Structure 1
Amino acid sequence: MDSVDEMARQRNVSIARLQGLEVATISIDCAKPVDVGFYAKEKARFVNPLSWLPKAEIRPGLFAYGKQAPNVAHAVAADSDLCAALDVLLTRYAFAVEWCDASLHARVNTWTGTIDGDSTGGERFLSNLETVARRLGDIAQGRSQVGANLSTRAFGPTWFRNRAMVGGLLTGFLGAFLFLFAVIGFSALRRMMH
């Protein structure tokens, strides 16, 4: 049996491994700005800092969030294969699946499971990820049973994650600058007092 990395390469999926997190990314046939997240109710154990974003129920236990969520949820709900694949990803592997423009990201917490941690060695995960990407591409291209209005502003989990990362970097630099400024000022003050 091939390794999960080899199977991923064959399906044009990239897997990034960070401490405690695996992120699988696959491209979607989409030229429109999209920023929507998907989650399953039972996987939403932790407090979601983005819980105030618009949410839409796709099916019982399956949700979309982000400004475009209501439009996307309606189109996703009409595709039973897409719903089934999302359900498998979100209940067995990923805590979140996010569609950002022409990419689909599945975020897997390695403390609760891994991409290749089942009897298929990752085949089930990758197959369902591929199905979700293909079906979302159909929605984006207007080839699905129900269309989704993607003309609303893309404002969802990826937008906030990017801003949080930039904000964290800026806060770190500002903190280091203020610390250095305080140390230099304290040294100068000590010299003046002696």
Structure 2
Amino acid sequence: MQSVDEMARQRNVSIARLQGLEVATISVDCAKPVDIGFYVKEKMRFVNPLSWLPKAEIRPGLFAYGKQAPNVAHAVAADSELCAALDVLLTRYAGAVEWCDASLHARVNIWTGTIDGDSTGGERFLSHLETTARRLGDIAQGRSQVEANLSTRAFGPTWFRNRAMVGGLLTGFLGAFLLLFAVIGFSTLRRIAH
């Protein structure tokens, strides 16, 4: 049997492994700005920092969030194959599936499961990820049963995560600078006092 990395390469999926997290990324046929997250009710965290973003129920138990979510939910709901693929990804593997512009990201927390942790060695995960990306591309290109309005501003989980990462880095640099400034100032005061 092939490794999950070999199967991923054949499907043009990249898998990044970070401490406690696997992120699978596949391209989506989309030239428009999009930023939408998908989740299932039972996997939604108790305290979600993105709970203030607009949400839309796609089907019972399956939701989208982000500024464009209400515009896309009807198109996703009309595609039973897409809903089934999202449901499998979100209930069996990923804690989050996010569509950002021409990319689809599935974030798998390795404490709750892994991409290759089932009897298919990752084939089921990759197949559903590929289906999701293809069907979202159909929605973006207007080839779906129900048209989605993607003209609203793309503001969702990826925008928020990017700003939070930059803010964290800037806070760290500012903290280090202030600490260095305090140490230099303290040592200068000691020299002046002696």
TM-score grouping bracket, smaller chain normalisation: over 0.9
Q: Distance in 2 between matches of 1:72 and 1:26?
A: 19
Q: What secondary structure does 1:22 align onto?
A: strand
Supply the distance in 1 between the matched residues of 2:96 and 2:147 (Cα, whole angstroms): 23
Structure 1 unaligned spans of 5+: none
What whole-Å deviation, never above 9, does each CA across 1:57-115 have from its counterpart, x for those lacking one?
00111000000000111110000000000000000000000000000000000000000
Q: How does 1:7-46 map to 2 (within 5 A)?
A: 7-46=7-46
Distance 2:100 2:72 in 1: 12
Q: Secondary structure at the match of 1:185?
A: helix
Runs of 4+ in 1 over 3 A off after TM superposition: none
Q: 2 CA distance for matches of 1:99 and 1:162?
A: 14
Distance 2:34 2:121 in 1: 31
1:51: how far off? Answer: 0.6
C-alpha distance in 2 between matches for 1:13 and 1:46: 30
Q: Secondary structure at the match of 1:106?
A: strand
Q: Residue 15 and residue 46 in structure 1: after superposition, are their counterparts in 2 closer, same or farther (change >3 A)?
A: farther
Identity of aligned residues (%): 92
Show the counterpart of 2:66.
66
User: Per-residue CA shift, 1:10-55, capped at 9, x if unaligned?
Assistant: 0000000000000000000000000000001111134211010000
Q: What corresponds to 2:156 in structure 1?
A: 156
Q: TM-score, normalised by structure 2?
A: 0.99
Aligned twin of 1:189 = 189
Q: Deviations over 1:132-170 (max 9, x none)?
A: 000000000000000100000000000011001111110
- 1:172 and 1:96 map into 2 onto residues whose CA distance is 27
Instruction: Work out the CA distance in 2 between the residues paired with 1:62 and 1:133.
Output: 17
Partner Cα separation in structure 2 for residue 100 and residue 20 of structure 1:
22
In structure 1, what is the Cα distance between the partners aligned to 2:94 and 2:46?
13
Segments of 5+ residues of structure 2 without an aligned counterpart are none
Aligned to 1:166: 166
Q: CA–CA distance in 2 between the matches of 1:20 and 1:61? A: 26
SS at 2:186 equivalent: helix
Query: For residues 190 and 61 of structure 1, what CA distance do their matches in structure 2 show?
Result: 64
- Where 1:129 maps in the other structure, the secondary structure is helix
CA offset digits 1:116-138 (Å, max 9, x no partner):
00000000000000000000000
TM-score for both structures, normalised by structure 1? 0.99
